[in-house]
Every structure is written in C-alpha cells, then in structure tokens.
Amino acid sequence: MERKEIESKVKSFFIDELELEADDIRDDARLKEDLGLESLDFVDIVVIVENTFGFKIKLEEMSNVQTVKAFYDYIETKLLITNY
C-alpha cells in the first residue's frame, strides 16, 4: 500500500469516525494536544486500524506516536513488516 493511500484512509476515519475537521489533520498536528484525542479515541483508532489495514497493534505501541505524520509512519512501517 502506498503512502498516499495510507494518508487518505487515515484522514477519512479521522473525519468520519472521530469527527475531526479536515483542515486540522496536518502532518505536524499532535494527536492529543492539537486534535484533542483522548484515551477512548485511541481504543477506537486501534480497532479501526486493525479493520482497515489488517494488522494488530497494542495501545502501548501508540504511546510513542505523537503527531499525525508519526501515525502515518507507524502504519507504513507496520504494513512493511506485516507484508515482508
């Protein structure tokens, strides 16, 4: 899966499922501080990512993911490992 497709899918579920504004979803936006995501949102994100991208993640893995760009990077890396 290419990076643009990952970004598109993530943006879509941020908008549709988490009800974020498209303009707020910038690469440098911090998930908690700028987008206002809370613990329950991260649980939803885990479920959505597993269903959308087909790999399992642990919440503790998400603790190092601070920005939208880092989230894209994380998914891209996991997909590379999973498909290797």
CATH number, domain containing residue 76: 1.10.1200.10
Residue 61, domain extent: 3-83
Residue 30's SS3 state is: strand
Model pLDDT for residues 21-78, shown as the tens digit of each residue: 999 999 999 999 999 999 899 889 989 999 999 998 877 777 789 999 999 999 999 9
Would you tell me the crossing angle of helices 39-53 and 68-83 to the nearest 10 degrees? 40
Mean pLDDT of 4-24: 96
- Per the model's pLDDT, the better-predicted residue between 44 and 84 turns out to be 44
Residue 67's SS3 state is: strand
Band of pLDDT at residue 12, cut at 50, 70 and 90: very high
Band of pLDDT at residue 11, cut at 50, 70 and 90: very high
Q: What are phi and psi of 30, to 5 degrees?
A: -80, 135
Domain count, the chain: 1
- Among residues 34, 58, 64, the alpha carbon closest in space to that of 45 is found at 58
